[in-house]
Chains A and B, each alone.
Chain A
């Protein structure tokens, strides 16, 4: 190579500068902010008081609990549906492309747009309750009952993201060797048995990848509850992301909001680490 040593740095400079200004600096800045509190409009150093405040903050615990409830129900449900759909799609010959595009379509739209559509569909007289009435199920108070409001969020998120995960699984399935299935067929294993003893284990690394992505996504959940349920009823769908927004931009308590941001950062790091340990190679 007769390349001058500075050449790669020239190509990297724009990205590095922008990254430093709009990502590196804010990350450090918000860490410092998390140790400050607003006194008469001025931010002053407050030690770890923001962090100790967390422990007495009931709204924070409500938001934390909501976020976790949504995460542990929605993520497995969606990933399972994604794998099943991918397996079904992998088994057919014709129209593959049409189905793939149809399933992926929800992942293309803005979170705000689909949340608006869903909140109108889920209203008391909305089309979903009308459909349920047709099959003999009474009206569900999707947006006004604390439990059903969470279910509404889960429903909407599953609609939005299942196809996205399905496409990832579908790509991974095409790398599973056909001979594994042939051998299993000769041994007389049923299709369902093959799915659980070949497909799922072979997809393990990809499942881990999608599980981490979905976990990170759920911990940041904001657009959907902001639009779909506005955090209600009575904070039943308030997420940490929404609480952060309210603290920062409704009450302008930047210090405490930054503390909440770091709670999300730490949760993401810890949960990703655990997922690696549990699902990763032994």
Chain B
């Protein structure tokens, strides 16, 4: 019994060390956001919150218009998540619950396209958006990647588990195909819908390369782009930058903590047993 205790103490010590390494940068960024710029390099390091948070946020707002930037990020993320979730769920449903000509080929193409890096699409997408006069608009930020292959894949996997009998019964009762999908299938895959929604939300909230290219003016920057522009300046106000980083990270972490059970199991495509 005693040896077992020492062993599990060592295990916990190793895990705690790992957890501290994982969490420290977040804590440190949040602390730096509440202190003045120079404190970032103070010796010994400042590890407790100060009283400069409001001042840093005001400076941040003067520099990049944080309100507008957060609004942009939110608009893009919310519309994107709602649309993409609908589109990908419909596609996943078609792949999982119907037999039709070309199904396996089309699904194969979707799967294969997951291997294509976004870099290969960036230049044509930029030229298309430029030709349509859509650079610097919300639709340019939202439209690419709406049909997200990984989300289609996740939804298909989860819909495979829904018994066909439910659909048969619904059809006999004279429910329309859309009614069947929206009133019977959707409710029965709620956990998968939640997981996919979280995945899409995080993907879009953190997305950088495309917004960097598609957003031309400061008014259309999303949070990561605005942060990066701020950090690229020759004279960096670190308190202000860290306030921005914390505003970009805080909401997504809270969102994740609230829904982490769904998110982690959804990312794996199956239920993680606990």
Interface of A toward B, CB cutoff 8 Å: 2-5, 7-12, 14-16, 18-19, 22-23, 25-27, 29-30, 33, 85, 88-89, 91-92, 95-106, 108-114, 116-121, 123, 125-127, 130, 159, 163, 167-168, 170-171, 174, 216, 219-220, 222-223, 226-227, 241, 244-245, 248-249, 254, 257-258, 260-262, 264-265, 268-269, 272
Contact = CB atoms under 8 A, between A and B. Distances in A.
B264 interface: yes
Contact of A112 (B45, B119, B227, B273): B227
Given A7-B98, A108-B252, A116-B231, A102 B268 contact: no
A258 to B, nearest CB: 6
16 contacts: A3-B177, A5-B100, A12-B91, A14-B91, A18-B87, A27-B121, A30-B121, A88-B15, A91-B11, A102-B22, A105-B256, A108-B253, A110-B223, A120-B32, A220-B119, A265-B116
A4 B18 CA distance: 56
A2 B118 CA distance: 41
Contact of A120 (B22, B225, B238, B257): B238
* Contact size range, B: 35 or more
B194 to A, nearest CB: 16
B43 interface: yes
A227 B228 CA distance: 7
Nearest to B143: A22
A92 to B, nearest CB: 5
B124 interface: yes
Contacts of B60: none
Contacts of A120: 32, 40, 238, 241-242
Contacts of A121: 25, 28
Contacts of A258: 120, 123-124
Nearest to B261: A97
Contacts of B274: 96-97
A178 to B, nearest CB: 13
B213 A261 contact: no
Interface in B204-237: 205-206, 208-209, 213, 223-225, 227-228, 231
Given A99-B19, A117-B28, A18 B146 contact: yes
A241 B122 CA distance: 11
B272 interface: yes
Contacts of A96: 274
Interface of B: 8, 11-12, 14-15, 18-19, 21-23, 25-26, 28-29, 32, 40-41, 43-45, 86-88, 90-91, 93-95, 98, 100, 103, 106, 110, 113, 115-128, 143-147, 149, 152, 171, 177, 181, 202, 205-206, 208-209, 213, 223-225, 227-228, 231, 238, 241-242, 245, 248-249, 252-253, 256-257, 260, 264, 267-268, 270, 272-274
B22 A261 contact: no
Given A22-B125, A109-B253, A244-B119, 4 more contacts: A12-B94, A33-B123, A220-B119, A248-B126
Nearest to B181: A11
B22 A167 contact: no
A3 B22 contact: no
Nearest to A98: B19
A85 B18 contact: yes
Q: Is the interface of A mostly helix, strand, loop or mixed?
A: helix
A110 B90 contact: no
Nearest to A133: B43
A102 B15 CA distance: 10
Contacts of B15: 85, 88-89, 92, 95, 99
Contacts of A117: 25-26, 28-29, 242, 245
A9 to B, nearest CB: 7
B273 A174 contact: yes
B117 A7 contact: no
Nearest to B46: A127
Contacts of B245: 113, 116-117
A74 to B, nearest CB: 16
A68 to B, nearest CB: 16
A112 B223 CA distance: 9
Given A116-B241, A245-B209, A269-B115, A109 B267 contact: no
Contacts of A220: 117-119
With most chain B CB atoms within 10 A of its CB, the pick from A103, A119, A120, A261 is A120
A159 B28 CA distance: 15
Nearest to B241: A116
A195 to B, nearest CB: 13
A223 B231 CA distance: 13
Contacts of A126: 40-41
Contact of B147 (A15, A248, A254, A261): A15
Contacts of A109: 26, 206, 248-249, 252-253
